[in-house]
Amino acid sequence: MTQSRFAPRVFSGIKPSGGLTLGNYLGAIRRFVEVQDEGRFETIYCVVDLHAITVWQDPAELRAATREVAAGFLAAGIDPERSILFNQSQVSAHAELGWIFNCVARMGWMGRMTQWKDKAGKNAEAQSLGLFAYPSLMAADILLYHATHVPVGEDQKQHVELTRDIAAKFNHDYGVDFFPLPEPVIEGPAMRVMNLRDGTKKMSKSGESDMERINLTDDADTIARKFQKARTDAAPLPETVAGLEGRPEAKNLVEIYAGLAGITPQAVLDRHGGQGWGAFKPALAELAVETLSPISAEMARLVADPAEIDRLLARGAERARAIAQPILERTFEIVGMIRS
């Protein structure tokens, strides 16, 4: 089977650990909606709750976070009829294929993963085995659906490359052309939204201060206050993008504006170059509120009806299993497992 014979299919997911941020929206969810609406791919989106428990999660908070991420997908425009939306743990084939890939992947591959090094730090011996091996589960998430494309941020590209390595090794070891080699899709402005208090760090759901990030659940006043207090330097906005070099906080705010407006950073500077932050920050806050308020309101409505979210996730899981199970069964057959 050649790569061109795989149906064009997208898989991507978001981990339910902490609330959704502006970074999740600009860096992932909005692009997911665009891919869905373009109609060139079958789209499968997942709340990856099995990945969340690689570090301790309070069970009640995990359930709430899973529903909140699902609500974020739906509120931003994911249509549960045109796309498949589900939570990972409802499709046990993810864990089953993940085990097979644990037996294909090499320890050295896992040890070289940048995110493992960052998360484990100097305390690697105390981390869970799941955290070390989670890129293998991520490969299973993708390949379980024979996904051909994976929308990711630049910092996740290494995981897609590892997925390709696992697929290639499986195919080679068993003398088959069964799994595709998926391509990372890295597109669009503001793919990597940075911390509002430190422009050298990524905006994170788990940052120390809530002032570091814009949450999708923030109200208009909170958004305005956070942008007003965002760290900047003393110089005004430059006239060209080159003038943002060495100014990480200024670059971040310009790129956030560009991402929200759907224009280039240079187009932002064409409008606002030479302005001081006292003029630019309110304009940025107004744009953010205009963009995010409808999403926040719809998220609040959805979260208030958890039974409806659960129903939609269950329906999505049923559709996901219909694709995943035959691929898993064929994998077992290739490996040599007896299935009665």
Q: Can you give the CATH number for the domain in which 166 is found?
A: 3.40.50.620
Residue 205 lies in a domain: no
pLDDT of residue 3: 57
> Are 104 and 172 members of one domain?
yes
Q: Give the residues of the chain that fall short of pLDDT 70.
A: 1-4, 187-191
Co-location of 170 and 311 in the same domain: yes
DSSP class of residue 336 equals T
Q: Is the pTM value of this prediction over 0.75?
A: yes
Q: In what order do the strands lie in the sheet with 9-14?
A: 84-87, 42-47, 9-14, 149-151, 183-185
pLDDT digits (tens, 9 = 90+) for 216-236: 999 999 999 999 999 999 999
What is the structure's pLDDT at 190?
44
Q: Is the same domain home to 99 and 114?
A: yes
According to the model, what pLDDT value does residue 338 have?
Answer: 96
Residue 276 and residue 162 in one domain: no
**Residue 201, in any domain of the structure:** no
153 is annotated as contributing to ligand binding: yes
pLDDT score recorded for residue 239: 96
Do 7 and 55 touch, CB atoms closer than 8 A? no
Evaluate whether residue 203 is within a structural domain: no
- Rounded to whole angstroms, the maximal C-alpha distance in the chain is 71
Residues 169 and 243 in one domain: no
Residue 185: which domain range? Answer: 3-191+305-335
Please check whether residue 204 lies inside any domain of the structure.
no
My answer on whether 45 and 171 are in the same domain is yes
Confirm whether residue 274 is marked as ligand binding. no
Same domain assignment for residues 122 and 175 = yes
* 45 falls within a domain: yes
Q: Please indicate if the annotation marks 23 as binding a ligand.
A: yes
Q: How many CB atoms lie within 10 A of CB 79?
A: 13
* Nearest to 154, CA basis, from 203, 110, 205, 191: 191
Q: Is 313 inside a domain boundary?
A: yes
Is residue 13 marked as binding?
no
Does 155 belong to an annotated binding site?
Answer: yes
**Cα R_g (the chain), whole angstroms:** 21
Tell whether 287 and 325 lie within a shared domain: no
Q: Are residues 176 and 88 in the same domain?
A: yes
Q: pLDDT, tens digit, for every residue of 93-139?
A: 999 999 999 999 998 888 888 777 777 777 778 888 888 899 999 99
pLDDT of residue 1: 44
Same domain, 162 and 283: no
The answer to whether the annotation marks 205 as part of a ligand binding site is: yes
**Helices and strands of the chain, counted as H and E runs:** 14, 5
Tokens of 72: 């974020």
Q: Is residue 243 part of a domain?
A: yes
* 122 belongs to an annotated ligand binding site: no
The answer to whether 177 is annotated as binding is: no
Give the residue numbers marked as catalytic.
119, 202, 205
Question: 3-state class of 15 per DSSP?
Answer: coil
> Average pLDDT over the chain, rounded to whole?
92
Give the DSSP letter string of 93-144. HHHHHHHHHHTTS-HHHHHT-HHHHHHHTT-GGGS-HHHHHHHHHHHHHHHT
Domains identified in the chain, total number: 2
CATH number at residue 241: 1.10.240.10
Question: 9 and 149, same structural domain?
Answer: yes
Q: Are residues 170 and 257 in the same domain?
A: no
Is 281 annotated for ligand binding? no
